[in-house]
Structure formats: structure tokens, C-alpha cells
Amino acid sequence: MRLVILDKYDEASEWAGKYVRNRILEFNPGPEKYFTLGLPTGSTPMGMYKTLIKFVTSGELSFKYVKTFNMDEYVGLPRNHPESYHSFMWNNFFKHIDIVPENANLLDGNAPDLDLECKNFEQKILDAGGIELFIGGIGPDGHIAFNEPGSSLVSRTRVKTLAQDTIIANSRFFGGDISKVPTMALTVGVGTVMDAREVMIIITGAHKSFALYKAIEEGISHMWTVSAFQQHPRTIFVCDEDATLELRVKTVKYFKGLMYVHNKLVEDGKDYQEVKRQKKK
């Protein structure tokens, strides 16, 4: 596990954006070889999306040969509702980058057969060769995607009933009205994310510090589904100082001491490519 600790939200977002950029550049995708990326919604990844848009606008990065798979979607909310995850992704990310629309895969929360929709989504991921990098956020109760406390740690894409905590947390997007928040969602499973070659989870803010502590300093538990990633061979947690408030001093010191290594992973795009070229020589 890597734990990358940046001062503030903005720095954490920029680090995450640069990491994604470098992973895509390093992969060198093309018509025969697409890069597959798992994506989250929420307020946390907004800064990362802005960073990625900046790279696409400056010509440093392209999503032409990238396929994306979103983690989750509400059930029953019209696709064009401003708070659907479909709208979120198009308004905040996809419409600003050069992704081919057919390559942006989102679950359909209005599909006539929801179970079939989930099954097909898993198949689409398989057909695309699996996910190279799955990016996630978490709720303050440690859920990843919509894998609420108590979810199976080997779960696959399915219909989930939302926990009351999640409904309350997400009511801020529905004018603070709990009754307007959908009560069900489609979500990838913990197992679906675990199958990715690499996982990056962004955790920021003091309100998520207890969840970060449960994720990395306590045992694996289905009550804190993000803790499952302790068993993933390549997980990066990217967080800000506030999110580390409940961690031990020695944990924070150890990982901060590794920042010089972690920062090499996000070195500037062109220089980074040059470094790679030199290494190959």
C-alpha cells in the first residue's frame, strides 16, 4: 500500500490528476490497446477531473484511446436529472475532454432489468480486458462506490439499498431534502474493484479521518468496505492532512518520509516520458 499525504485538497487533487496522466502516458494507448479507467463521482474527485481537463486542453494528454467505467448510479433518477451520476460525469468531465462517447460506460439506473444491466456491465469490463486503474472515493462510513457497511467483500455489480447515513450525506445535492434522495443504486462490487490491476482511492477532509484510520490501521472488515483494499497488491490512498487526523503519528511519519519516492511518480508529463525513454536505453 502507498499512502500519499498532501497538505490540502487542491494539492491532493493535483497529485491524483498527475498520477492518472502519467499512468495513461506510460501505457501509451492506441487503437489496438485501450487504457481502461474506473471512475467515481462525488465532490472529492472534482479537483482531479479539473486537473485532467487542464492536461487535455494543453495537449499533454488524450482520452481518445481510453475506456471509462463508472462505479455507480442511482436507480430511478432520470438520466438527465442534474444529480444523476450520468449528468455529473458529462458536465464535470466527459464534455471537456476528447473521449469517444461510446467509450464512456455508465450503469443505467432506469434499465428495465436492473440485474441484467449489472451483469452486462461486468461483461463489458471483461470484454475491455479488465480495469487498469480504478479510482474511488469513500463515504465517511468507509463505503466505496455504494458498497455500504455490511456489503460482501467479494461482491460484484448489483442493486444496493442505500444506508441512511449515505442518504443523509447525499441530501446536500438534493437541496437538503432527504425525501428527494433515491434510496437505491446500482454499484460495482468490492470484488469488481479488487479485480483492477491498480486502485487509487482519494480521501480528503477531517470528516473522513476515522474512515481512513479504519481503512489502513485496523483489520479488514465488511463494516468498512474500503478496508478490503489492504489485500490488493497495488493500492494508493491519496489524502490531505485533515484526513490523517485519526492516524498514528508513526504511520504519518513513515509515509511522509516516502514522499520523495511518491513524487517521482507524478513528475511532469514530458520529462516523465523522457525519463522512461532514458531508462529503456
Active-site residue set: 72, 141, 143, 148
Q: Which stretch binds ligand GLP (CB under 6 A): 9-17, 36-44, 56-64, 127-135?
A: 36-44
Q: Is 182 in the site for ligand GLP (CB under 6 A)?
A: no
Judged by CB under 6 A, the residue of 19, 55, 63, 146 near ligand GLP is: 146
Distance CA 85, CA 63 (A): 20
Number of residues that bind ligand GLP (CB under 6 A): 13
- E strands, the chain, in order: 2-6, 35-39, 66-70, 72-74, 104-105, 133-136, 158-161, 184-187, 198-203, 235-240
Q: Which of 22, 41 has the CB closer to ligand GLP?
A: 41
**Least distance in angstroms from the C-beta of 44 to ligand GLP:** 3
Q: Which stretch binds ligand GLP (CB under 6 A): 41-49, 103-111, 176-184, 252-260?
A: 41-49
Q: Which of 3, 89 has the CB closer to ligand GLP?
A: 89
CA distances from 210 to 38, 140, 204, 237, 246 (A): 25, 8, 11, 14, 6
Query: Which residue, among 5, 60, 19, has the nearest Cα to 267 in the 3D structure?
Result: 19
Distance CA 163, CA 149 (A): 8
Q: Which stretch binds ligand GLP (CB under 6 A): 133-141, 176-184, 250-258, 271-279?
A: 133-141
DSSP assigned state of 33:
B
What is the total residue count of the chain?
Answer: 281
Q: Is 161 in the site for ligand GLP (CB under 6 A)?
A: no
Q: Is 66 in the site for ligand GLP (CB under 6 A)?
A: no
Q: Is 225 in the site for ligand GLP (CB under 6 A)?
A: no
End-to-end, the C-alpha distance of the chain in Å comes to: 30
Q: Extract the C-alpha cell encoding 138.
A: 469513500
What residue type is 106 in one-letter code?
Answer: L
Q: Is 44 in the site for ligand GLP (CB under 6 A)?
A: yes
Contact positions toward ligand GLP, by CB under 6 A?
40-44, 71-72, 137-139, 145-146, 166
